[in-house]
Amino acid sequence: MARKVLVLGEARDGQLRNVSFEAIAAAKTVAEGGEVVGVLIGESVNSLGNDLYQYGADKVVAVEDAKLSQYTPDGYSQALMAVIEQENPEGIIFGHTSLGKDLAPKIASKLGSGLISDAVAVEEAGGNLVFTRPIYSGKAFEKKIVTDGLVFATIRPNNIAPLEKDAGKSGEVSTVSAEIKDLRTIIKDVVRKATEGVDLSEAKVVVAGGRGVKSEEGFEPLKELADVLGGAVGASRGACDADYCDYSLQIGQTGKVVTPDLYIAAGISGAIQHLAGMSNSKVIVAINKDSEANIFKVADYGIVGDLFEVIPMLTEEFKKL
């Protein structure tokens, strides 16, 4: 059944996040030959329209308003509801980001719709749209079929490949008018914690350190390896609790969930709560002094050794490539 599917283009620092392009690829599957409509919301976002076209959107609409310069659940839901009213879609796809996790349930409840959250795959099988999502902290996967009504889902970053970019493509961005009013939250200022390098939740390579890193300085070799690989640094809660690094780096059940192509765990024991955040990474390399460490049970490659010897060796080897 051909459907019209909306995809929210999520911008940060004036650029669309990669998950927006992954969402377009998911939306193409859901649309089953129908139309994929990219949606931009913000103060001046029209210039991002071509990016959505280049990754496969068939049409792009935007709601622009100074009150939408920062994300607020009220403002964005008013904007999106105006788009939904105009476009009348049969499907909606968001990234399973902080924004998507906040906004999607709000919209679903306004529409009286179900929501499949945190999907890692979607396919057409036997006449049904089948979504796959991890359960029990990534230890199992369940399949969800939408039998009726709106197909509304959020997709986990880094799992659904975006379509190939067609750099020559461009198109119109049509404006949807929405009255943004009675906002209960007004954001006056955003103070960003200085973070270096690649965004952890979207990184293709993550080099994560645990209590075995032993100090803040102990993270330096990990940062160097991450730089060489174009990746991001992450951490276990053990390392965060010990004040070796900031909690924004924490991966796990109560931290970020990451699914990079390569996850290097150094000096991390592999507690169940840590595995919850990284066990679905495509390739896992564990470095630990203790050959019995639990992390080796989920690792594709294990190195029993001192991370302060192994990590610099890896960095030197990768520099040669």
Q: Per the annotation, does 86 bind a ligand?
A: no
The alpha-helical segments, DSSP class H, found in the chain are 18-31, 49-54, 73-87, 98-111, 220-229, 237-241, 272-278, 307-320
Contact (CB, 8 A) for 72 and 41: no
Given its phi and psi angles, is residue 181 left (phi above 0), alpha (psi -120 to 50 degrees) or beta? Answer: beta
DSSP 260: -
Q: Per the annotation, does 274 bind a ligand?
A: yes
Decide: is 138 part of the binding site for ligand FAD (CB under 6 A). no
Q: Per the annotation, does 49 bind a ligand?
A: no
Q: Tell me, rounded to whole angstroms, the distance of Cα 307 from its chain centroid.
A: 29
DSSP 85: H
Decide: is 93 part of the binding site for ligand FAD (CB under 6 A). no
d(CA 249, CA 237): 9
Contact letters for ligand FAD, residues 261-300 (x by CB under 6 A): ------xxx-x-xx--x---------xxxx--x-------
CB burial readout 10-45, b (16+ within 10 A) else e: bbeeeebbbbbbbbbbbbbbbbeebbbbbbbbbeeb
Q: Per the annotation, does 269 bind a ligand?
A: yes
Among 138, 210, 221, 302, binds ligand FAD (CB under 6 A): 210
- Please report how close the Cβ of residue 235 comes to ligand FAD at its closest, in angstroms: 7
- Please report how close the Cβ of residue 224 comes to ligand FAD at its closest, in angstroms: 16
Q: Per the annotation, does 237 bind a ligand?
A: yes
Contact letters for ligand FAD, residues 165-194 (x by CB under 6 A): ------------------------------
> How long, in residues, is the chain?
321
| Window of 43-51, 87-95, 139-147, 306-314 that interacts with ligand FAD by CB under 6 A | 306-314
Contact letters for ligand FAD, residues 229-268 (x by CB under 6 A): -------xxxx----------xxxxxx-----------xx
- R_g of the chain computed on alpha carbons: 21
Could you tell me which residues are beta bridge partners of residue 94?
154
- Please report how close the Cβ of residue 17 comes to ligand FAD at its closest, in angstroms: 23
Nearer to ligand FAD, 25 or 287 (CB): 287
d(CA 79, CA 59): 17
- Please report how close the Cβ of residue 255 comes to ligand FAD at its closest, in angstroms: 4
Decide: is 308 part of the binding site for ligand FAD (CB under 6 A). yes
> Which residues neighbour 30 within 8 Å (Cβ) at sequence distance 6 or greater?
3, 5, 91, 93, 122, 129, 151, 153
Q: Per the annotation, does 70 bind a ligand?
A: no
Nearer to ligand FAD, 121 or 271 (CB): 271
Q: What 3-state DSSP class applies to 248?
A: helix
Q: Per the annotation, does 284 bind a ligand?
A: no
From 53, 20, 59, select the one nearest 176 (Cα to Cα): 59
- Binding site: residue ranges? 211, 236-237, 250-254, 267-274, 288
Binding site for ligand FAD (CB under 6 A): 210-212, 236-239, 250-255, 267-269, 271, 273-274, 277, 287-290, 293, 306-308
- Binding site for FAD: residue ranges? 211, 236-237, 250-254, 267-274, 288
